[in-house]
Amino acid sequence: MKVLVAKKLGFCFGVEHAIDMAQKLLVERKKVYCLGPLIHNSQVVERLAHQGLQVVENLEQITPAADEKDTPTVLIRSHGCRPELLQKIKAKGFQLVDATCILVKRAQKLVQELHQQGYQVIVVGDPNHPEVQGVVGYAPEVIVVNGEEDISRLPPHGRLAVISQTTHSAEDFGRLVGYIATRGYEEMKVVNTICRETARRQASAVELCRLVDVMFVLGSRHSANTGELAQLCRRKGVDTYHLQDWQEFKPQYVVGKGTAGITAGASTPGWIIQEFAENLQHF
């Protein structure tokens, strides 16, 4: 069948940087830990685990070093974390290597600055996503808005500053900002913190939706930006399947379809995309 691949898809520079950092550390040092999976892709996480990267849930699971040469290294993933955690890592005497994406760092800094300027900070995003859980730690009483139902929790008046989870869909961010504006705040400052990589992947997917009969969105079901891509394609009216890799493909997905499109989230490695595209072409 005819297969078209999105112009922009797969690994973003933030994810590539985090993986590079992990691989360098694993060559240089013995004990390297990551709090939670480094990226939302089980195949990559498994490969790094084979190279020695240990995934832990909390710092208490890390055994302190018997001597200095053995000091554990804690790698902060591209999603970032709360500032207290960075201090706790240092206080425990562990080596800290911070792979927080520069665009997530920008959002963290903005939350801090906007709060200092007297704004009530609002983050549009998923309160359960590690990036959001980290970002809200940069100022007190940050409110997370994930849908219209959360807007009733906002204060009735005051000065509001709204930012977004970096991987949120631009369409949804705009929609929720619109709803918030209807409440008539005296001042609303909106800073677009959606990352360009996410925006470009979304724009490429929308472009592709116009040309295909079916869309395959590749990536982990835990990956926020992959999920957003799949939802976006569905909203464009194209039959869309969010699959982790070729193993999840079923022939009935392409019955009666002439052209298929492929896109992938920012944590989906190139080899998964290539394998899927080749197999689909020969199907």
What are the residues binding ligand F3S (CB under 6 A)?
A: 12-15, 78, 101, 103-104, 166-167, 195, 197-198, 225, 266
Q: Which is nearer to ligand F3S, 18 or 139 (CB)?
A: 18
Contact between residue 39 and residue 18 where contact means Cβ atoms under 8 Å apart: yes
The reply to whether 113 belongs to the active site is no
Q: Is 267 exposed, middle or buried (0-12, 13-18, 19+ CB in 10 A)?
A: buried
Residue 79 CB, nearest approach to ligand F3S (Å): 7
Burial classification of residue 53, based on how many CB atoms lie within 10 Å of its CB (0-12 exposed, 13-18 middle, 19 or more buried): buried
Residues 180 and 187: beta-carbon distance below 8 Å: no
Q: In terms of CB distance, is 137 or 265 closer to ligand F3S?
A: 265
What residues are paired with 190 via a beta bridge? 162
Please tell me the distance from the alpha carbon of residue 246 to that of residue 271, in angstroms, as a whole number. Answer: 11
Nearer to ligand F3S, 120 or 220 (CB): 220
Under 8 Å between Cβ of 196 and 206? no
* Residue of 28, 60, 131, 248 with catalytic role: 131
| Minimal distance, residue 12 CB to ligand F3S, in Å | 3
To ligand F3S, the closest distance from the beta carbon of 128 in angstroms equals 17
User: In terms of CB distance, is 120 or 226 closer to ligand F3S?
Assistant: 226
Residue closest to ligand F3S, measured at CB: 14
Query: Looking at the annotation, which residues are catalytic?
Result: 131
